Structure 1
Amino acid sequence: MRKLLFIVFLLPFQHLAAQESEIKHSIEIFFDGFHSRDSLKIKSVCDAGLILQSISESSKGTKLSTEKASDFIKSIVSIPDKMKFEERLLSYKIQVDGAMAHVWTPYEFYVNGKLSHKGVNSFQLFKEKETWKIIYIVDTRRKG
């Protein structure tokens, strides 16, 4: 009986841990595609209606900008090979409710090995069949 109670108690936690792993994997695929300039990889984990926004902070104030997913992908694949860039995710905070997830990832962005800016990404995802798809990304950007 004790063993059964233990198993019943652990099952929800194991399910949540598996979901969180799947969600994190979708974001890792996104960034793998981002860093390798691979549009197909990026699209594999993004919904066709993906919304992208950025909040830039500077001495001139705060600005919200919106970018079409197609423009974002075109800009990524057109980055010259000689330019090296890396977005380093510092941690993941994942929240899940059924087929919806929210992921908060502080980051640092490097261009040619030098810190360019930092901030936080906020991802909204939904589970489509067996894949967690990114439907919305908003990030903050502050100079390093």
Structure 2
Amino acid sequence: MKKLLFLFLFCLPIISNAQKLEVENTIKTFFVGFHAKDTVKIKSVCSEKMILQSIIEGQKGTRFEEEKPSEFYKSFSTFPADLKFEEKILSYNIQIDGKMAHAWTPYEFYVNGKLSHSGVNAFTLFKENETWKIVHLIDTRRKKQ
């Protein structure tokens, strides 16, 4: 019995780290699609019921915005072909409870190589049919002063 308990306690961190890696890879897939303006790839890791929200801090105060997923996906078709943007994720803090995960990811956002703004993304994911899907994404945005 002691050996079985030891084995369970030994394997628990390995299972937890594997789950965290799956969540991190889901978010990385989202950003691969985001940077490539590939809505098919983005949709592959997002729930159809995904909620998108932003808290934008500016000189005129702070505002809260919500965007429908269909508007988010459609916005990629309006970007000029020569526009280059990159969201650099600085770190991942991932917590998991059963079929729910939360990832806190500070970032810097660059447009044509120049820092535009920074903030944090908060992803909530749901494990559906053994696949993690993003169900909620809220971010903060602060312009470089």
Distance 1:5 1:67 in 2: 48
Corresponding residue number in structure 1 for 2:17: 17
Deviation at 1:59, TM superposition (A): 2.0
Corresponding residue number in structure 1 for 2:31: 31
Write out per-residue CA displacement over residues 12-60 of structure 1, whole angstroms, 9 at most, x where no aligned residue: 1111101001000110000000000101100000000111000001121
Matched, 1:108 2:112: no
Distance 1:32 1:77 in 2: 16
Corresponding residue number in structure 2 for 1:135: 135
Q: Number of aligned residue pairs: give it.
A: 144
TM (norm. structure 1) is 0.95
Deviation at 1:4, TM superposition (A): 5.2
Structure 1, 130-139 or 70-79: larger mean CA deviation: 70-79
State the one-letter code of the partner of 1:49.
K
Distance 1:116 1:20 in 2: 29
Deviation at 1:8, TM superposition (A): 2.2
Deviation at 1:11, TM superposition (A): 1.2
State the one-letter code of the partner of 1:134.
I
**Residue 38 of structure 1 contacts residue 77 of structure 1 at CA under 8 Å; is this kept in 2?**
no
* Partner SS for 2:103: strand
- Structure 1 residues 141 and 116 mapped into 2: Cα distance closer, same or farther (>3 Å)? same
Distance 2:22 2:46 in 1: 14
Corresponding residue number in structure 2 for 1:67: 67
Deviation at 1:5, TM superposition (A): 5.1
Root-mean-square deviation over aligned CA pairs:
1.4
Percent of residue pairs identical: 58
TM (norm. structure 2) is 0.94
Corresponding residue number in structure 1 for 2:84: 84
Q: Gaps (5+ residues) in structure 2? A: none
**Structure 1 runs of 4+ with >3 Å offset:** 1-6
Structure 1, 75-84 or 36-45: larger mean CA deviation: 75-84
Distance 1:5 1:101 in 2: 26
Write out per-residue CA displacement over residues 80-130 of structure 1, whole angstroms, 9 at most, x where no aligned residue: 220000000000000100000000000000000000000000000000012
* Partner SS for 1:91: coil
Corresponding residue number in structure 2 for 1:99: 99
